[in-house]
Amino acid sequence: MRVLNKIILFFMTVFFLVVANCQKKDSGETPMIAGADIAIVQTEYGKVRGYIHNGTFVYKGVPYAKAERFMPPAKPDAWEGIRSSLFWGPTCPMMASHNMEPDEGKFLFQHDWGYPSEDCLRLNIWTPGINDSKNRPVMVWIHGGGYSFGSSQELPCYDGENLSKKGDIVLVSVNHRLNVLGFLDLSAFGEKYKFSSNVSMLDLVAALGWIRDNIANFGGDPNNVTIFGQSGGGGKVATLLSAPSAKGLFHKAIIESGWNPEYQRQEISRRIGRAVVQELGLQPSQINSIQKMPYAELAAATQRALKKIREQLTAEGNEPKGYSFGLIPTLDGNFLPYEQSDPRALSLSKDVPLIIGTTKNEFNTSAWVAPRMRNAPLDSVKSFIQKKYGDKADAYIEAVKQAFPKDTRPTDLIDVDIMFRRSAVNYANLKTSDSNAPVFMYLFTWQSPVFDGDYKAIHCMELPFVFNNIGLWEEITGGGEDAYALADKMSQAWINFACYGDPNHRGLPEWEPYTEENGATMFFDNKCIIRYHHDKELLKITASE
């Protein structure tokens, strides 16, 4: 009888597989369509050819500008015929190798570093339709990696198909110059290099200009553009909000885990530039040869120069901290005439609605910063806190418990992010001080189950939820039902914000705008809730960090 049952089960399985396969063929659906006459769109510079995947039109590696080294971007060269735009464009070269990343880190992040070239001013587009005058909202993704690393293909979740399809939006992602190529200040060596300290940001302005002039043919609305970015990409979004030349090129903004320090003072950026030139053994009269020097030689000299200047500043009693030093945007009086806190900078974006937020654990101490603490017991955790906070240790512990009363693991006491959260709160307070547009604050608190839950809500954790790409990055999300459910809620909030300037939808409790007085913050978790000033005491106690 058992043998008969197995035979019956086998033939039933075969039958259903055959039926399913026939249904798929009969439906006429083809997941991938590519060919000589497929997905052709006219741009100002010539025609481009993409492909269609599951009904979404995709274009990759489209040139939006060109640039000589250290020079502002210029319009790209026009081309004859149809330009094939099927694969990622070049990525900006990086100054350091990532080969030394631990195996576990490589597994978690699944980095794709692409192929480097200084000719990297490219963008990618995902759209539900082309040449159809639909005027869809446009979302422009600015990748993370500080101001030195990363690209539009670096992480698996950057693929824009799911978000584009779900929201009927046009999604664009951008590559641009980074590190020494994007931020080396050579302005002390003549008018020619006047903008060299911020050409990375000028690239992004050029990309937004290209979108304004060309996106309609890709089904997008140039008058409804949302820029969004995470980590260094979030910092770039904040910088664009303060840049006069970017005004009017976008209409909404989202900053995810963005670090927003003061800009580099030009006194320091020029000092770095001179040190790099000195390390290269160049005289001022030879400065133009820096444009043709091999990138590896330039990068090595820059790393030596940065080390020397940091040591000098420390000896002078001006020890730099975090992203307040190095190759970052410079307050140059041209592209960036004002600090972010300057009322004149704030007035540039007073009509731009903003979502801003962070993850609960960011660079969590026990799994990332100090892995020796990964499974530390309570007494070891308390000893760690005592060494760091001294007589404030007990108050710190109580403030963490007040902010997150449901936490149970000893390491939860040391894994709560302070730095990115404080930056977000400070910027939100600035933005709401003189704004006609709402600010929506969030905290991503969902805890990943991967590696026994040790990584918690680490830096970048919210990205696959925003892009609705849980299945593309299971290494960090686990790929479970809870993750898919939260991704549905979070991606819809980002879509609604891009469409209407308001992230609210029926899947969430009412997300009221943030003010300095109410401290309203949306917690994204298995159960999404709004809390008010949940960590006010914690931020007060750790104000000196």
Give per-10-residue mean pLDDT for the chain (545 aa).
43 38 47 96 98 98 98 98 98 83 90 96 98 96 95 97 98 98 98 98 98 98 98 97 97 92 90 97 96 96 96 88 80 95 95 98 92 94 96 97 97 96 96 93 98 96 98 97 98 98 98 98 98 97 87
Report pLDDT for 321. Answer: 66
Alpha-carbon distance 446 to 485, whole Å?
Answer: 12
Nearest Cα residue to 312 out of 264, 268, 262: 268
Report pLDDT for 432. Answer: 95
Q: Residues 251, 225: contact at Cβ < 8 Å?
A: yes
Report pLDDT for 324. Answer: 65
Beta-bridge partner residues of 228? 141, 254
Beta-bridge partner residues of 53? 32, 56
Report pLDDT for 118. Answer: 98
Q: 58-76+88-260+338-348 maps to which CATH number?
A: 3.40.50.1820
Cβ-in-10-Å burial (0-12, 13-18, 19+) of 209 comes to: middle
Provide the token pair at 309. Answer: 């200047």
Residue in 176, 279, 459, 462 annotated catalytic: 459
Nearest Cα residue to 260 out of 416, 425, 444, 148: 425
Query: Whole-prediction pTM value?
Result: 0.93
- At 400 the three-state DSSP class reads helix
Specify whether 231 is catalytic. yes
Hey, where are the domains in the chain? 2-30, 58-76+88-260+338-348, 264-331, 417-541
Report pLDDT for 26. Answer: 40
Specify whether 285 is catalytic. no
Q: Residues 413, 329: contact at Cβ < 8 Å?
A: no
Nearest Cα residue to 302 out of 330, 272, 323, 325: 272
Alpha-carbon separation of residue 359 from 67, 100, 159, 410 (angstroms)? 36, 26, 21, 19
Residue in 85, 148, 231, 448 annotated catalytic: 231
Alpha-carbon distance 257 to 443, whole Å?
Answer: 10
Nearest Cα residue to 289 out of 272, 300, 306, 276: 276
Alpha-carbon distance 423 to 258, whole Å?
Answer: 8
Alpha-carbon distance 535 to 543, whole Å?
Answer: 12
Specify whether 362 is catalytic. yes
Provide the token pair at 100. Answer: 């030394």
Report pLDDT for 326. Answer: 86
Residue in 161, 256, 362, 462 annotated catalytic: 362
